[in-house]
Amino acid sequence: MSWRLRMFMRGDSRTTDEQKRATRKSVTMEDLKRVEVTFVPRAMLGNTYANLSLVGTKCYFQDEKYKELNALRCDRYYPAGSLLATDAEGNIGSIHTWSDIGQLDYAFNDYLNFLMAVRLIYESDDSDAEKVAKIDALANVTGHQGHAYSVFIVKHEGAKRILKKCRGFHPKP
């Protein structure tokens, strides 16, 4: 008995393209407006303290807060971050944990906290020597998830280089 005859006898369980299109519900803008998203800042020295401190801000797709967060920039061209849907536990996918020192996965939150500390130091009115000393002092800090800030400083090639990178992105007047 051929396979076609067997399929005919028991009924073809395969669906046609027309059947798939008829059963598929199209997603409308109203459906998307019910999607809650979380702001995840771009993990790089060029992002400002104000932008980095918005990490975890929740809003709904296309509401006023969404539009405000989506308009932020960390320099002239790059967006300040992404607005992402999270899983049931509030986690983001590892594809979104890229930074200016590479893929971070488990160290992402500690790195964001490190960046906020660096940007707070850089955006202060201290002299460059004081800023370098304060960034060097961060080497003694360990983040909440157990990652040493000294590793991040080494990845950026030291405190002076960090300060230079910050200045390159946002020159102070």
SS3 sequence of 53-111: CCCCCEEECCCHHHHHHHHCECCCCCECEEEECCCCCCCCCHHHCEECCEECHHHHHHH
> Global pTM?
0.73
Q: Is 108 exposed, middle or buried (0-12, 13-18, 19+ CB in 10 A)?
A: buried
Confidence bin at 112 (pLDDT 50/70/90):
very high
Length of the chain in residues, anyone? 173
**What is residue 16's predicted lDDT score, i.e. its pLDDT?**
61
Which DSSP category does 11 fall into?
Answer: -
